[in-house]
């Protein structure tokens, strides 16, 4: 029902898993926690980037109309 919402989140969280596997082996007991941490960082970074680029578009639109 909410597949449109779950697949982007799953994509970002799996990217966090790939980044975590660079630092910790996948068989390490702490890997799920580290994967979750890196996934959260990737998700937060994408959210911040989206907000910045959305505001840049608004600022450019206002600057070009004046």
What pTM was estimated for this model as a whole?
A: 0.69
The residue ranges of every structural domain in the chain are 37-66
Q: Alpha helices of 1-66 — where are they, by DSSP H?
A: 3-23, 31-65
Q: What is the pLDDT of residues 15-56, one digit of tens each?
A: 888 888 999 988 989 898 998 899 889 889 988 888 888 877
* Measured torsion, CA atoms of residues 47, 53, 59, 61, in degrees rounded to the nearest 10: -130
Say what the pLDDT of residue 22 is: 92
Quick one: angle between helices 3-23 and 31-65, nearest 10? 120
């Amino acid at each position: 029902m909410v597949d449109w919402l779950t697949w982007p989140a799953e994509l970002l969280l799996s990217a966090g898993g790939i980044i975590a596997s660079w630092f910790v082996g996948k068989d390490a007991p702490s890997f799920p926690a580290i994967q979750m941490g890196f996934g959260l960082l990737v998700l937060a970074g994408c959210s911040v980037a989206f907000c910045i680029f959305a505001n840049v578009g608004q600022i450019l639109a206002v600057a070009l109309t004046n």
